[in-house]
Chain A
Amino acid sequence: MKLLYYPGCTLHTVAVQFDQSTKEICKQLDIELIEISDFTCCGGLYPQTTENLMQLQAPARILVQAQRTDPNLELMTLCTFCYNTLKRTHYTLKKDEQKRNILNDYLEEPYNAKVKIVHLIEVFRDDIGYDTIRKKSKRSLLKGFRVAPYYGCLLLRPMNEIELDDQEQPSILEDLLYAIGCDVIEFPYRFDCCGSFHVVNKPEIAEQCSKELLRYTEQFHANCLVTCCPLCYYNISRFGGTDFNFQIFYITQLVGLALGIEPIKLGLDPEIINKFISDSYLV
């Protein structure tokens, strides 16, 4: 299958391993990614004020670019922030024709509100199917891997706009992790905040949030945390430091390992992974 791919800014800068592992697993699963050219930042966050249409310009322009690149393809993105912002922007502009008309006056090319935005995990669930993934995975490899699925704040919410999964009782991450053979922990703190953008101005808040989260992870005897969000990944690995014996992964990295891709191609240090896998057998 073919997908338009919007990596957003972070996947080409700080979260390169997320980008890299995605490209590897897509290759294995016969998904052709067409990166939209010269894309801009999505704006980072869907504006919280109801009337600030101008801040929708950035994400709307990305949607226009997707519609121009190929109107028949779905637009796939990975970063939780990008996904959330694009989906909500699309939702607003689709639902509210007046807003769409106003915003289109400011865009160089109007948005037709027809682009379908998908997350890769959504593609796994709806298009590839867990059965296929299970068949292609070396499930024994990740056996004993005690994984805490971590959704964070933005991946699912608000549910009526995102329409990815139930915001209180989701299973999309868990199902995927089962499919690739992990030991999945029922993790009650899977929606807790990592401290998010506080890390810019008040890093102590982000530190507190991240450390708290990691303490819970420890309590649940998880030896790794899996996320779709580069900011969660950043905060947790920045503040986790050496205090905690655990590893944080992008979901695509674990899927990649299960598909038998060499760790180095997934942006993972092979030595750490080998040690980690053998450790996890010991638990």
Chain B
Amino acid sequence: MKTLNEIEVTKKSEFKSTDTKMEFVNIFFAGKRYRVLKGLTILKALEFAGYRLVRGVGCRGGFCGACATVYRTDGDYRIKVGLACQTMIENNMYLAQLPFYPAIKAFYTVDEIKPSGDLFLRYYPEIMKCLQCNTCRKVCPQDLDVMRYIAAAQRGDVSRVADLSFDCLQCGLCASRCPAEIVHYHVAQLGRRSYSRFMQKPSTHLSKRIEEINSGKFNNEIESLIKLDRKELEIIYSQRDIEPEEEIAPKKDED
């Protein structure tokens, strides 16, 4: 017997697919069963089920980390995690969202976070409690090597922390599972800011240009452009020279 959902979806043909038959699966959201279309992401499945989410939804593109979700799949004892907007549902998936997790953050001004061996220990001494269980890495939806950037933080290796943690979305799943109660993503944030502020060299061409602008070097040219009418601007625009892409001889791939 068809359920109401199936009749309705087929009738309204909300999905354009014509040659594939509508298939449905069960998901359990916070323990409650919903029957939803197969092939959706967790986020779209929840919406299909009728949810209008306020928390647990954000950019819908895998960038903001608002839709962190924990789940178990049928017949597997392991806890799995993912972003709801990026993870596909499976039949009999058990899931709950974790849109927020309490975390502490150290307060500092950017000038006082010069790289040093004890930079991280000063603000986050709890990183020394790391048990190296590697759970943080296993839950990271970005597949970052979280444990190793914490190890780098213990060693005071600021540039390594910055590099290994760069793709972090700050979703907080690592912190939610850490037996040592570390808030990894704030440690990483401190590392990246310290690295960028003090270990990357400032751009000299930037300072030069700012001086030029402040000295009024470009004022006359801009003012005269502003006075031009559209036709004159069009000519200047279409005649402007365009910096070429580097001429790169096509390289053979190594493999």
> Which of B117, B130, B132, B148 counts the most chain A CB atoms within 10 A?
B132
CB within 8 Å for A54 and B131 given contacts A9-B154, A12-B155, A40-B148: yes
| A13 and B117 within 8 A (CB) | yes
B140-167 interface bits toward A, Cβ cutoff 8 Å, 1 = contact, 0 = none: 0000010110011011110010001000
Interface residues on B, range: 10 to 19
Complex Cα distance, B155 from A79, in Å, reads 14
| B131 and A9 within 8 A (CB) | no
| A38 and B154 within 8 A (CB) | no
**Interface-forming stretch among A55-63, A256-264, A274-282?**
A55-63
Report A-chain residues with C-beta under 8 Å of the C-beta of B9. Answer: none
Min CB distance B179 to A, Å, is 9
Complex Cα distance, B130 from A43, in Å, reads 8
> Which of A39, A40, A43 counts the most chain B CB atoms within 10 A?
A40
| A57 and B156 within 8 A (CB) | no
A41 within 8 A of B: yes
CB within 8 Å for A41 and B132 given contacts A9-B155, A12-B156: yes
Count of residues in A whose CB is under 8 Å from the partner chain: 17
| A14 and B160 within 8 A (CB) | no
Complex Cα distance, B151 from A43, in Å, reads 11
B133 within 8 A of A: yes
| B132 and A38 within 8 A (CB) | no
Interface residues of A (CB under 8 A from B): 9, 12-14, 16, 38-41, 43, 54-55, 57-58, 61, 106, 108
Closest to B148 in A: A38
Report B-chain residues with C-beta under 8 Å of the C-beta of A14. Answer: 117-118
Min CB distance B168 to A, Å, is 16
Complex Cα distance, B117 from A55, in Å, reads 25
| A41 and B154 within 8 A (CB) | yes
Min CB distance A7 to B, Å, is 8
Complex Cα distance, B155 from A14, in Å, reads 9
| B132 and A43 within 8 A (CB) | yes
| B151 and A38 within 8 A (CB) | yes
| B117 and A40 within 8 A (CB) | no
Report B-chain residues with C-beta under 8 Å of the C-beta of A43. Answer: 131-132
| A61 and B117 within 8 A (CB) | no
